[in-house]
Amino acid sequence: MAAVDIEECGVRLHARRIGIIGAGAAGLAAARVFAEENATSNNDTPPFVITVLERNNAVGGVWRYTPNSVCHYNVPQPDSGALRQKFDERCPETGGFPTPIYDELSTNLPTDVMQFPDVPFPASTDEFPSHTEVLKYIEAYAQSKVLTHPIDLRLNTQVSNVEFHPQRSLWTCDVRDLISEHNQTLEFDAVLVCTGRVSHPYIPDVNGINELALSRPGLVIHAKEYRRASEFQDQTVLVVGGAASATDIARQLSYTACQVHTSTADASQADADARDPRMTPEMGAGCNPSQPLCRHLRIKEFTQTHVHFVDGTSIPMPDTIIYATGYICTFPFISQVEPVKGAPKPDHQLLSDGDIDGIPNLYKFLVLAYNPLLAILGVPNKVVPFPMYEYQATYLAHLYQGHIQLPPFDQMLDHARSDLEGPRPFIMGFKQVAYMNDLIDCVGDHQSRLGHVPDHWVKSRLHCVEQRKQRLGY
């Protein structure tokens, strides 16, 4: 069981059995950091016992490509209350669960920015690597930095329920082996959720969209199902959204479709921080010069024959509407989380009740303020994820060794609430640098291979889009 010590000036934790859900980049980074802390800590500190649970048949997470996949979601699907669950979505060709990776996806980050802090991409890798190169990089990272340690990695293992028991100060985790179909309940002192935030499509509720989807199945899809532009040859396509996936999909379609329309939020609705110009290419960049995009504002309503926009314009109903509008940040395998002993019970305890933004009550966008024995990695959006995962994991490893004293519970909750002030609070953007530096400052003088974010990384991060345009033309 975990120890939660309430001290005069705050809270100190001691957790030994660590359950990590997900073996993508976040889960592997966490496993590595915790295992390395075992190797470097003194004999007075009990070692971590690390278990990694992954429902896929291999590591890689979101970067494990599924060539053909069927996703189950509702149209519209504006929040977690609309989610369709308990479908077997595994790809027949690979046995993997569907991810948003499409055929011609390459990163919008150069390798020197994207990489884990001390693990460069191979020299032969393209500056803006394809998804295949990124997956190989993650697999090599797992082999060289993670699986060399005594870690219990369980593939083909699906987590169905995670529950905290305050009286015993531990978590139970119900899992199912997808090969043997054997069910088991595991116990952990702390749980790290590393499943990412791109599992459950977000499709906003627009007047007429439900009736349209019911009357014409397959007309409205989410970008998670998009795989290749050739499937839309000679079609008229409307791409909804204005961030990285929308701009890339619209660019690809401009070379195969007979006409590509786009719809993005109007200026009064768009959050200035929602698109960091240092990461997201401009809509229309790199498109077919003989087939320019037809750009529109936000959709007002659908009829059976037309799409109407907020400025009063309309277009005839296209052959396909692709919503590249992001994902709902929710974790259906965790419902209500009880506080640890001594912590207040907040108004909102449902982690399964998420929306497009994030999860409330997270201290430092990472640990649950009223139960810091639960951490969720990767919640901040518009960030460079790989290095952030290692900084978050380093903070957690020292937190669960008792090296870091947390503030009192009420102060953590206040801090978490203040982080939610303003529109789209989980969009971090370039504030990621200060965030990672803050995490490492909390570790203090305790041993860590990470330091403050180096200046050369900051400079490269500032010029990602310019580098990509010079290299790829868009």
Q: What is the pLDDT confidence band of residue 274, given thresholds at 50, 70 and 90?
A: very low
* Residue 332 CB partners (closer than 8 Å, separation 6+): 80, 83, 85, 200, 352
User: Dihedral angle at the C-alpha atoms of 90, 91, 95, 97, nearest 10 degrees?
Assistant: -50
For 252-262, give one letter per residue: b (16+ CB within 10 A) or e: bbbebbebbbb
Q: What are phi and psi of 222, to 5 degrees?
A: -105, 155
| Residue bearing the bigger pLDDT, 445 or 11 | 11
Q: Per-residue confidence at 390, pLDDT binned at 50, 70, 90?
A: very high
pLDDT band per the 50, 70, 90 thresholds, residue 352? low
Q: Mean pLDDT score of the chain, rounded to an integer?
A: 90
The structure tokens listed for 127 are 């500056």
What is the C-alpha separation between 307 and 280, in angstroms, rounded?
Answer: 26
Note the pLDDT of residue 441.
95
Residue 422: CB atoms within 10 Å: 10
Alpha helices in 21-129 (DSSP H): 25-40, 111-114
Q: How far apart are CA 161 and CA 199, in angstroms?
A: 17
Q: What is the pLDDT of residues 38-66, one digit of tens each?
A: 988 776 778 999 999 999 999 999 999 99
Q: Is the pLDDT of residue 21 over 90?
A: yes
CB 281 within 8 A of CB 275: no
pLDDT tens digits, one per residue of 414-473: 999 998 887 778 889 899 999 999 999 999 877 678 999 999 999 999 988 888 888 877
- Which pLDDT tens digit goes with each residue over 203-251? 999 999 999 999 999 999 999 999 999 999 999 999 999 988 999 999 9
Per-residue confidence (pLDDT) for residue 123, from 0 to 100: 96
pLDDT tens digits, one per residue of 370-384: 999 999 999 998 899
Q: How confident is the model at residue 351 (pLDDT cuts 50, 70, 90)?
A: low
**Minimal CA–CA distance to 363: which of 420, 404, 416?**
416
Contacts of 323 (CB under 8 A, 6+ apart): 201, 202, 203, 204, 220, 221, 222, 223, 240, 241
The reported pTM is 0.93
Token duo for residue 420: 């939610």
